Amino acid sequence: MEDRDIIALYWDRSEAAIRETQQKYGKYCYAIAYSILYSHEDAEECVNDTYVKAWETMPPEKPLRLSAYLGRITRNIALNRYAHGHADKRNAHLTEVYDEAAEAIPSPEASVSDELILKEAINSFVVSLERDVRIIFVRRYWYMSSVKDIAKDYGLPEGTVKSILSRTRKRFKAHLEKEGIDL
């Protein structure tokens, strides 16, 4: 079923929307949640929560890309679940991803006056990347995939993936500075 048809089911308040979403995007949402939580049970709960959130937000939302919309919902739910469940503990994998990203993202104290400006700067940077670099960058910093998993999936040595990520973070930082975003 096409995305526009699934979205129409949500707008019609048809329970078939959930079934079609599960069939088309269930594994995708599960992969996002699992890459953050590393727990089958928690990932499954996040996916179910994603369906509920999609049901609650459509309408009024009418996403242009259903996969991106569901992915964002799943990611946010998984990150919130992780933060709640690990308030006293630190996950080495997520800590590593955050530490890497910290060198190229604005700090909370930075004066990013307009969130839209930051969003546009990030989007323009990601779109400017070569396809393979873009995929690796997004896998690491959006989906929070491990370097090992990225390397395995693309048949690259881990050192090559680390090098690509390091160079791309430096380019990202320079891009944000060029856009006038304080780091």
Q: Tens digit of pLDDT for each residue in 24-51? A: 999 999 999 998 888 999 999 999 999 9
pLDDT digits (tens, 9 = 90+) for 147-156: 999 999 999 9
Report the pLDDT value the prediction gives residue 118, as an integer from 0 to 100: 76
Do 106 and 140 belong together in one domain? yes
Amino acid at the residue 145: S
Average pLDDT, the chain: 86
- The confidence band for 109, taking pLDDT boundaries of 50, 70 and 90, is very low
157: phi > 0 → left, psi -120 to 50 → alpha, else beta; which?
Answer: beta
Amino acid at 29: C
Of 90 and 163, the structure prediction assigns the larger pLDDT to 163
Distances from the Cα of 20 to the Cα of 7, 11, 63, 82, angstroms: 10, 14, 16, 27
**CA angle at residue 104 from 123 to 176, to 5 degrees?**
50
> Cα separation of 111 and 115, whole Å?
10
Provide the domain limits for residue 130: 92-178
- The pLDDT, as a whole number, for residue 99 is 66
Residue 177 has pLDDT above 60, yes or no: yes
Domain shared by 155 and 115, yes or no: yes
Count of domains for the chain: 2
7 and 81 within one domain: yes
Would you state the structure tokens that stand for residue 56, as one six-digit string? Answer: 């609650």
Q: Are residues 124 and 107 in the same domain?
A: yes
Examine the domain organization and report whether 79 and 116 are in the same domain: no
Cβ atoms of 85 and 77 closer than 8 Å = no
